[in-house]
């Protein structure tokens, strides 16, 4: 419980930091270095998680368990889910972009607690390595990423305990990060900058961090109880000792439903930054966007039991959770319509960043619609725990968050490195990913509706063809990472120089050199009161002082 920080932070910590590429392996306190550490580390884990997904899809291209044995399959799928969520999406959409961008947006030179920030990052690699090595030593956890007891109590204990430990570390990292974001956004704002002038990503991160701080500790507590059940043979969740397995599910989903918004709200924020720049238009409906984020936060905390419609919950409870869940479509819908309105009438540069963002909109709408369908109890009792659910959430986590991550990399790569990415490779990457993704996951809706349960290594032969189509799509997705990786590596060294602000963007991170200097700005931090003030070019002649003037004075 690190509650107090050493008070010795007055001396400039950065002078002691290594420079050059080595600093990415060091305990750096620079928010930009930490952000990139999160990004690179997360991406490596993504490749591992994707490799595991590849193993899943290879196994599922035939109806019998041949490529992986049954318990290895369960380990692989548990690792896949855990890695993708806790080591890829959550750290990247929060940690990576949050650390890199938030200090710029609030006009600060670093995060509120740089040291805590570095600690939060450095909890991740050991947790991830621990999780992965457990597979090679005693076998990894094999009860799914949800780890429902009593299965998680009765499967081999070693793997499950390692899983719990590493999720606890990752949860801790996420809580520290959340506290840091809240403090930075609320407390470190540059004087003169009002809350309602912040770029949307700040609001998204504020909402997300509130969810992190309120819900992650509940997961931590739950997992501690679960580990007692495994190690000390208590009976919290063990029915043979009088425990109650449903209580675990409530506690788990109290965290893990908000966790899905922890994975997607920051992505919403990132899209809100990217679209206006490339469409050359102000973000449409700023105020309603802010309220809808807060609406999602509030609603997100009270819908968890929609994952438990078949767990024997009482009827009134199911009904309440159906209604609450369905209503999340309203604030979410506002955001989507506002994005379309942002595009409408713009001067859209059709580059990779905007393509991935628009791909996100399309995919997420489909995932959201299946989500609203799943929220209806009578609908869910048929498709719960089937491939329909798998399709739903991959449309959201991959089609949503991962698409946004790619979009953001295309958008901010010049900021990170001062080099441009190759656009043709980027578009090729987009087309291949988009086709592969839809080929992989769209057919899974049908599989679920027609009787294929999830988490199985063997299935009814009637589903073979459709599964093979899905596996082929996964192959395309795997191939699509190659042009991307090549693009990143090649452009980092040989890419065209981008200049400081290749997109002519107005948000604060672009108003400094690319890559930025150590303390973000040489001299004063700029006061950006209108981060989305596009479309004012006539008024922006050098004589008229600034577009920021005529705003809420």
Summarize as ranges the residues that interact with ligand HEA (CB under 6 A): 47, 50-51, 53-54, 56-57, 77-78, 80-81, 84-85, 89, 144-146, 260-261, 263-264, 306-307, 325, 328-329, 332-333, 336, 365, 368-369, 371-372, 374-375, 380, 384, 389-390, 392-394, 396-398, 400-402, 440, 454-456, 474, 477-478, 481
Minimum gap (Å) between residue 547 Cβ and ligand HEA: 32
Q: Which does 393 bind (CB under 5 to 8 A by kind): Cu ion, ligand HEA, another protein, none?
A: ligand HEA
C-alpha–C-alpha distance, residues 499 and 513, integer Å: 8
Residue showing the smallest CB distance to ligand HEA in the complex: 50
74 binds another protein (CB under 8 A): yes
169 vs 377 by CB, closer to Cu ion: 377
Minimum gap (Å) between residue 482 Cβ and another protein: 26
Q: Which does 109 bind (CB under 5 to 8 A by kind): another protein, ligand HEA, Cu ion, none?
A: another protein
Q: Which does 453 bind (CB under 5 to 8 A by kind): Cu ion, another protein, ligand HEA, none?
A: another protein
C-alpha–C-alpha distance, residues 409 and 391, integer Å: 25
302 binds another protein (CB under 8 A): no
Q: Which does 23 bind (CB under 5 to 8 A by kind): ligand HEA, another protein, Cu ion, none?
A: none
357 vs 481 by CB, closer to another protein: 357
C-alpha–C-alpha distance, residues 225 and 151, integer Å: 15
243 binds another protein (CB under 8 A): yes
121 vs 236 by CB, closer to another protein: 236
327 vs 521 by CB, closer to ligand HEA: 327
89 vs 270 by CB, closer to ligand HEA: 89
20 binds another protein (CB under 8 A): no
Minimum gap (Å) between residue 338 Cβ and ligand HEA: 11
C-alpha–C-alpha distance, residues 354 and 360, integer Å: 10
In this structure, what DSSP letter does residue 421 have?
Answer: P
What is the DSSP secondary-structure string of 220-283?
HHHHHHHHHHHHT---SS-GGGT--HHHHHHHHHHHHHHHHHHHHHHHHHHHHHHHHHHHTSPP
Minimum gap (Å) between residue 264 Cβ and Cu ion: 11
Provide the 10 A C-beta neighbour count for residue 475: 17
Reference 92, options 49, 134, 55; nearest CA is 49
Minimum gap (Å) between residue 540 Cβ and ligand HEA: 34
Crossing angle of helices 200-231 and 157-187, in 10° steps, is 150
Minimum gap (Å) between residue 122 Cβ and Cu ion: 30
257 binds Cu ion (CB under 5 A): yes
Residue length of the chain = 553
**Which one among 89, 93, 164, 182 touches another protein, defined by CB under 8 A?**
182
3-state secondary structure 150-197: CHHHHCCHHHHHHHHHHHHHHHHHHHHHHHHHHHHHHHCCCCCCCHHH
Phi-psi region of 192 (alpha: psi -120 to 50; beta: other; left: phi over 0): left
9 binds another protein (CB under 8 A): yes
For residue 344, CA distances in Å to 117, 338, 501, 515 come to 39, 10, 24, 32
Q: With the CA atoms of 88, 89, 94 and 99 taken in that order, what torsion angle do they form, in degrees rounded to the nearest 10?
A: 40
Minimum gap (Å) between residue 56 Cβ and ligand HEA: 5
C-alpha–C-alpha distance, residues 386 and 441, integer Å: 13
Q: Which does 386 bind (CB under 5 to 8 A by kind): ligand HEA, Cu ion, another protein, none?
A: another protein
Residue showing the smallest CB distance to Cu ion in the complex: 257
272 binds another protein (CB under 8 A): no
Q: With the CA atoms of 78, 175, 393 and 373 taken in that order, what torsion angle do they form, in degrees rounded to the nearest 10?
A: 130
354 binds another protein (CB under 8 A): yes
Reference 221, options 255, 244, 179; nearest CA is 255
Site for another protein in 135-164 (CB under 8 A): 142-144, 148, 150-151, 154-155
The owner of tokens 């395309």 is 476
Peptide bond into 515 cis (omega under 30): yes
Provide the 10 A C-beta neighbour count for residue 14: 17
Q: Which does 32 bind (CB under 5 to 8 A by kind): Cu ion, another protein, ligand HEA, none?
A: none
486 binds another protein (CB under 8 A): no
348 vs 420 by CB, closer to another protein: 348
Minimum gap (Å) between residue 476 Cβ and ligand HEA: 9
Q: Which does 301 bind (CB under 5 to 8 A by kind): ligand HEA, another protein, Cu ion, none?
A: none
Quick one: tokens of 290? 């802010």
411 binds another protein (CB under 8 A): no
What is the DSSP secondary-structure string of 205-217?
HHHHHHHHHHHHH
**Which one among 17, 26, 62, 288 touches another protein, defined by CB under 8 A?**
288
Minimum gap (Å) between residue 520 Cβ and Cu ion: 37
Minimum gap (Å) between residue 244 Cβ and another protein: 5
Residues binding Cu ion (CB under 5 A): 257
């Amino acid at each position: 419980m690190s509650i107090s920080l050493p008070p010795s932070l007055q001396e400039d910590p950065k002078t002691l930091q290594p420079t050059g590429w080595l600093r990415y392996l060091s305990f750096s306190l620079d928010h930009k270095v930490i952000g990139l550490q999160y990004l690179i580390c997360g991406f490596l884990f993504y490749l591992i998680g994707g490799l595991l997904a590849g193993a899943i899809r290879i196994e599922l291209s035939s109806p019998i368990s041949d490529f992986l044995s049954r318990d290895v399959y369960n380990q692989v799928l548990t690792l896949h889910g855990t890695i993708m969520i806790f080591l890829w999406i959550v750290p990247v959409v929060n940690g990576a972009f949050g650390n890199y961008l938030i200090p710029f947006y609030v006009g600060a030179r670093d995060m509120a607690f740089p040291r805590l920030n570095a600690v939060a990052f450095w909890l991740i690699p050991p947790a991830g390595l621990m999780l992965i090595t457990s597979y090679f030593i005693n076998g990894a956890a094999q009860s799914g990423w949800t780890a429902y007891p009593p299965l998680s109590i009765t499967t081999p204990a070693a793997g499950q305990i390692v899983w719990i430990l590493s999720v606890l570390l990752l949860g801790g990292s996420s809580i520290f990060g959340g506290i840091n974001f809240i403090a930075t956004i609320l407390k470190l704002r540059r004087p003169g900058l009002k809350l309602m002038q912040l770029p949307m990503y700040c609001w998204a991160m504020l909402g997300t961090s509130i969810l992190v701080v309120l819900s992650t500790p509940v997961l931590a507590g739950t997992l501690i109880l679960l580990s007692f059940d495994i190690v000390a043979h208590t009976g919290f969740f063990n029915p043979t000792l009088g425990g109650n397995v449903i209580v675990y599910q409530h506690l788990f989903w109290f965290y893990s439903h908000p966790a899905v918004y922890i994975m997607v709200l920051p992505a919403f924020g990132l899209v809100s930054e990217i679209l206006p720049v490339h469409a050359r238009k102000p973000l449409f409906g700023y105020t309603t966007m802010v309220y809808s984020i807060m609406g999602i936060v509030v609603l997100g905390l009270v819908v968890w039991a929609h994952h438990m419609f078949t767990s024997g919950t009482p009827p009134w409870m199911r009904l309440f959770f159906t209604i609450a869940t369905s209503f999340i479509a309203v604030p979410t819908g506002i955001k989507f319509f506002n994005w379309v309105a942002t595009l409408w009438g713009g001067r859209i540069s059709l580059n990779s960043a905007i393509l991935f963002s628009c791909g996100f909109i399309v995919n997420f709408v489909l995932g959201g619609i299946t989500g609203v369908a799943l929220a209806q109890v009578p609908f869910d009792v048929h498709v719960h725990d089937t491939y329909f659910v798998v399709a739903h959430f991959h449309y959201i986590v991959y089609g949503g968050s991962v698409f946004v991550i790619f979009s953001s990399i295309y958008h901010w790569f010049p900021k990170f490195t001062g080099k441009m990415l190759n656009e043709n490779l980027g578009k090729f990457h987009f087309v291949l990913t988009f086709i592969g993704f839809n080929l992989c996951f769209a057919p899974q809706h049908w599989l679920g509706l027609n009787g294929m349960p999830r988490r199985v290594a063997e299935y009814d032969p009637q589903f073979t063809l459709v599964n093979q189509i899905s596996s082929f799509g996964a192959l395309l997705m795997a191939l699509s990472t190659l042009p991307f990786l090549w693009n990143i590596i090649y452009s980092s060294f040989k890419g065209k120089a981008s200049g400081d602000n290749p997109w002519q963007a107005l948000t604060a991170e672009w108003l400094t050199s690319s890559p930025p200097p150590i303390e973000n700005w040489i001299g004063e931090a700029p006061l950006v009161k209108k981060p989305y003030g596009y479309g004012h070019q006539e008024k922006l002649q050098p004589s008229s002082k600034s577009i920021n003037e005529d705003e809420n004075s």
